Chains A and B, each alone.
Chain A
C-alpha cells in the first residue's frame, strides 16, 4: 500500500498563452498509516498535487506508482484507485446533490456496487464518525449549516472506506469548534483506523499539532518534506516564500533572550508550557 510520485510535472493549458506550470519534478513516497500535512502559498500547486494522487489529473510528465504499478498504464483500473484513495475537495459542500443527507452519503458506496445493507451500514457509520445526528438524516443537505454540510460531504467520501484519505483545506471557512472537530476526526482516522491521511492546510498551528510529516510546496516544487519540527527550524526560509512557523515558536524565540533554554525547537503550545515551567523551576 503505497503511492509513489516520480518526477511528476503538470502544466495547465499546455501550448497556449495561458500555460501554467503548476507542478515541477515532484518526487514523493507515501506509505502506510502516515499523517501528512501539505502547506504552501496560494497557487503553489497543493490542490493540483493531491488531484494526481487518485488519478483525476494526468501528469504531463513523470509517473505515479500505486503499489509498484504505473497508474497511467492502459491496463490499470483507475476506478479501483479512486476507491482506495478518497479525495475530499476544497469546499466539498458544493458537491452535495441528493434530496436528503443520508442518500447523498450513500452515493459513493453505491458507485462501488455494494449490497443495499452494506451501503446503508457504511453511510450510517460515516455519518456517526463525523458527528451528524440521526435527526438530520432526512433533511435536505441544502438546509444545513456550512459546518454541517462540510461534515456530510466528508462522510460521503469516508463511506467509501478509503485506505488513504486526502482532504483539500478541510477547515477553510469554519469556526474554531468546527475546525477542531474536523482535525480531531482526521487524527482519529489515522490513529484508530490506521489509514493514511493527508491534508492541505494554511494553519501552521494545526499542522504542527496534528501531523507527523510536513510537505512544503513553493511554485510547484517540493522544497521540504520532513517532520514538522525539522521543517519549522527553517522558519527564516519559510518566511521568504510567504509562510511562517507557528506563532508560539516566535514567542519562545523571544523568551530565549531572557534566558529560556530549549533542547529543540518548540512548535506547540503544550511544548511551550513545559519549556516555560522548566525554566521557572530552575
Chain B
C-alpha cells in the first residue's frame, strides 16, 4: 500500500521548490515542446545539460526519479524494440525476416530519450510542488477559461481535495486491513473469487468512512461560508517574484537556443554528418 506514489512531493527547500507553481507548469510545457521538436543529437545534449542542471538545483535525489521510471519500463522496451526493427531505411543487419536499419536505431534512441525525459520532467514538477500549490497554479493559469463558462475554480478545488484525500484513504486502508487481519481475514491466498470476496470486509468500511469524511468536509466548508470561487480571496495569493520573471527569461533563452540549433543545423546541411 505504501509504495503507491501519486502526487508524490519531496519536501525540501530549493530554488525550484520556491518557484511559483505557474512557472513550473509553464516550464514543463516548454520542456515537453522542446523535447518533441528536437530531432538531432546536439539538441538532446543541450536538453540533457539543462535537465541535469534543474535536477541538481531541485535537490531531489535521483533515486526518487528512478522510481517513476520503473512504471514505464515495459512501454519503453516495447517502443524501442519496435522502432529498431520496423523502421525502413539503410539496412545494417539482417536476421531472418527482421532487419535493423540505421534510421531505426536513431529513432529508437530518440524515442527512448523522449519517453525517459518526459517522465523525469513531469516528475520533477510534482516532486517539487505540493498538490495544493499545483491546483492553485492551475486555477490561476486557467482562469481565462472562466469566460467560456468552464468552472475552473470548482474543478481545481475538486482536484486538490481528491489529491489531499489520497494519503488519508491509503492510511485508512492500511488500518482497516490490519484490523480485519487481526480478525483472521486473509487477503493473500486463494483463487480469484475468494480474493475478491475477501475484499468486502475492506471496501465496505472504506467506503463508509470515505463518505463520512466527505460529508464532514462538506459541512465544515459550508459552516465556513464556502460558496465556490466567486469573490473568494486567498490567504497566500500567487504573486510573481523576481526569480519567477527571471525564470521566464531563461525559458525564452532555452527555446531560442533549441530552435536556433535546429535552424543552423538545417541551414548548413550538416545533419547527415551528425547522424552518422
Contacts and interface: CB of A to CB of B under 8 A. Distances in A.
Interface of A: 13, 17, 51, 54, 56-57, 79, 82-83, 86-89, 92, 94-97, 107-108, 110-112, 142, 156-157, 160
Nearest to A95: B179
B180 A95 contact: yes
B184 interface: yes
B208 A142 contact: yes
B184 A79 contact: yes
Contacts of B205: 94-97
B183 A107 contact: yes
Contacts of A95: 176, 179-180, 183, 201, 205
A156 B201 contact: no
A14 B209 CA distance: 28
Given A94-B209, A96-B205, A97-B200, A89 B175 contact: yes
A107 B176 contact: no
Given A17-B10, A89-B175, A83 B201 contact: no
B183 A160 contact: yes
Nearest to B180: A95
Contact of B183 (A17, A94, A142, A156): A156
Given A17-B10, A95-B205, A96-B205, A82 B176 contact: no
B77 interface: no
Q: How many B residues touch the partner, as a band?
A: 20 to 34
A111 B181 CA distance: 10
Interface in B1-32: 2, 10-12
Contacts of A54: 182
B208 A82 contact: no
A142 B183 CA distance: 19
A97 B201 contact: yes
Contact of A87 (B2, B11, B182, B200): B182
Contacts of A111: 183-186
B182 A86 contact: yes
A96 B208 CA distance: 10
Given A17-B11, A94-B209, A97-B204, A51 B181 contact: no
A142 B207 CA distance: 13
Given A94-B209, A142-B208, A107 B201 contact: yes
B249 interface: no
A82 B182 contact: yes
Contact of B182 (A13, A56, A94, A110): A56
B178 interface: yes
A51 B178 CA distance: 9
A160 B183 CA distance: 8
A88 B180 CA distance: 10
Given A107-B183, A107-B184, 5 more contacts: A95-B201, A110-B184, A142-B208, A157-B182, A160-B184
B237 to A, nearest CB: 29
A87 B10 CA distance: 35
B117 to A, nearest CB: 25
14 contacts: A56-B178, A56-B181, A57-B178, A82-B182, A83-B184, A89-B178, A95-B201, A97-B200, A97-B201, A97-B208, A107-B184, A112-B184, A156-B183, A160-B183
Nearest to A108: B183
A13 B11 CA distance: 14
B172 to A, nearest CB: 8
Contact of B184 (A17, A56, A97, A108): A108
A87 B178 CA distance: 10
Closest 8 CB pairs of A and B: A111-B184, A97-B204, A95-B179, A87-B182, A108-B183, A89-B179, A97-B201, A56-B178
A92 B179 contact: yes
A110 B185 CA distance: 9
B176 A94 contact: yes
Contacts of B200: 97
Nearest to A113: B184
Contacts of A96: 205
Contacts of A156: 183
